[in-house]
């Protein structure tokens, strides 16, 4: 998996607070265990055209992606795109 990109509602933080983060982790064993969270910025207040992207996500046969937020702000995912390279067995 070369990268994973999330298009979401961004720029929804609170003035004077830390920038909200989207936390991504994944499981290659059907959701039994997950990797450590990788952070992606959801943008500062008013930064509405921000993409959240993670690179170099390694090889897998079957993967479960988990997305969470670091702050109590609105999180609306519009679309998710993954760039994959298919290898022959």
How far apart are the C-alpha atoms of 40 and 89, rounded to whole Å?
32
Q: What is the pTM of this model?
A: 0.80
Nearest-angstrom CA–CA distance, 34 and 49: 29
Task: Name residue 5's beta-bridge partners.
Answer: 53, 81
Q: Which residue has the higher pLDDT, 88 or 36?
A: 36
Q: Give the H or E element holding residue 73.
A: none
Rounded to the nearest angstrom, the gap between the alpha carbon of residue 4 and the centroid of all alpha carbons in its chain is 7
pLDDT tens per residue across span 3-49: 999 988 877 767 667 788 889 999 999 999 999 999 998 877 877 77
Whether 10 contacts 71, CB under 8 Å: no
HSE toward the beta carbon, residue 27, CA cutoff 13 A: 9
pLDDT tens digits, one per residue of 41-72:
887 787 777 889 999 998 888 899 999 888 77
Check residue 35 and give its pLDDT. 96
């Amino acid at each position: 998996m070369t990268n994973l990109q999330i298009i979401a509602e961004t720029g929804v933080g609170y003035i004077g607070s830390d920038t909200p983060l989207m936390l991504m982790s994944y499981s290659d064993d059907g959701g039994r265990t997950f990797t450590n969270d990788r952070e992606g910025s959801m943008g500062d207040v008013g930064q509405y055209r921000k993409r959240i992207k993670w690179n170099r996500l390694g090889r897998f046969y079957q993967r479960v992606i988990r997305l969470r937020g670091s702050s109590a702000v609105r999180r609306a995912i519009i679309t998710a795109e993954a760039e994959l390279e298919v290898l022959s067995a």
